[in-house]
Structure 1
Amino acid sequence: MNHWHGKQVLVTGADGFIGSHLVESLVEAGAKVRALCLYNSFNDWGWLEQSPVLAEVEIISGDVRDPFLCKKITQDCHTVFHLAALIAIPYSYVAPNSYVETNVNGTLNMAQACLDNGVSRFMHTSTSEVYGTAQYVPINEKHPVQPQSPYSASKIGADAMAMSYFNAFEMPVCIARPFNTYGPRQSARAVIPTIITQIANGKKRIELGDTSPTRDFNYVTDTCRGMMAIAASEKTIGQTVNIGSNFEISVQDTLELIKELMGSEVEFVQDEQRLRPKDSEVFRLWCDNSLIHELTGFEPQTDIRAGLSKTIDWFTQADNLKRYKANIYNV
């Protein structure tokens, strides 16, 4: 029996990178999907604009910072996937209050709305950035959280706010904590799209921040499958669950792999403005994914080489490439 068939679900942040892929995965699974896209005067629905499932989705434009809107959009929902967040780390250095407003207060608004409307499952989305630089590897869910940027601090606060609704009100909350997701539609702030778009635009030298940190990269469809597995399981209520590959690779080795797959002779050089403040850089992220496997049976399906190949194929299509400003540094 398909858990999602016929169920009314809400995805916040549905216009974004992971959110748009999650919407498509849920539609494919037979769910009735309501998608919250960030309100803007262009009436732009982000990555859902070109989605093949757009006609099957109920689109709502709005903002999780408004509690009245949150209460309205959660009515009659079985499951809420809360992905709406400000995510850029460098921008959090210059606009930290925006991160508290959207990430902490937005999560509070959504949690209260779900409680008021008797939603059967509230799945809040965390991030591996809350762990900071690994104190031990691989990182399991018991690893301390370390607020190494205003962004990670806001997500630690948002996670705590969501879990407080489980502890205080017995609301069925689960927290998905994905490690580094990549794939088609990812923001150009992230290192993989930055490299692919610049190589595709013929750059001979690419300026980068520190390439020595390691990451646990996960192809976007695996992240979505993990989220759906966590939200569908009774065992995950009241739990925070990592989504990752249990595989660590340095940013430098990732770049070399992209270079190889694209047949490029590009040279990588360090750019001082792209370096994070010394105590803010997260040097190691390597996910222990044993809990998600134990609770749901989830295993990633796309390895780094296959995932990068799919990502390169998408980014190098002319219509997709022109959406990215490869010649500027995105904060």
Structure 2
Amino acid sequence: LARRDLTVNAIAKDSDGQLTDPYGGLADLKAGILRHVSPAFVEDPVRILRVARFAARFGFRIADETLALMRNMVENGEINALVPERAWQELARGLMEQTPSRMLLALRECGALARILPEVERLFGVPQPQRWHPEIDCGIHTLLGLDYAAMQGYALPVRFSVLLHDLGKGTTPKEEWPRHIAHELRSATLVKPLCGRLRAPKDCRELALVVARFHCLPHRAYELRPETLLKLLLDTDALRQPQRFEQFLQACTADYCGRTGYENRLFHHADYLRAALNAAAGIDAGAVARQAGDNPLTIRDKVQEARLEALIRWHAGALRPNS
């Protein structure tokens, strides 16, 4: 038991059902405290992530002495020894907890977030226009969106995408604050190396890139012309990957609702874009292709023309709520 990481994990039961609790784990469990067992805690830097994940799972407080030890591990560079696969495993599990923001806050408190996800750390303290973001702080917005995604039970790729969707705002020059012009492009540029560094799986990586690059457009869905709607569907590969497009819309919903006072609002724009996809996908592509002849380029162009015509007809009668 002395080699266990936390006191709450260092409780044993013998064959007679008697508990052995040499480090006060039961008391810490009752008090909601995460406390390390011994100095051996420092031997494995992944324990920093585990403690942060447990904070997200149970809502427990990290003991002052354990937090100090975690800070020392970060400052001494021991966090740099994390194996990417193990780091990803713990981060992914933490993102799937009920309140993943607690994991991020715990990692911030000990300084580990700046080492593991410096792109996310840079978001904190960066302001946004209060008119659109009552919470103002970009980092807080990310945490709110992440917890909303968890509350809705969204899958890991969606939650990971919400975590990374605004990375570009962390690189906006201070003289341009609180505006963040073209942050989507900068976000997508940052997502690629981050995913490579963590060795994130393909589904998480690809969705995160799409969300980072295009998450602002759904917020303006009612303003988009049929031509722009079709381009969005093509750029997000919605026609070939409708399930991923649904995850894209979920991430955008979390972005919308992850704002102070917006938690219980409905993001009607997502339904609007679902209807647009149905209209574009509803054409008889086979019939169009047969009429177009044997030239693949001609077939592609004719199919896109048919999709655009379908969107124009749909757009003319589509309802656009005010919210």
Higher helix content, 1 or 2: 2
TM-score w.r.t. the length of structure 2 is 0.25
TM-score w.r.t. the length of structure 1 is 0.24
Structure of larger gyration radius: 2
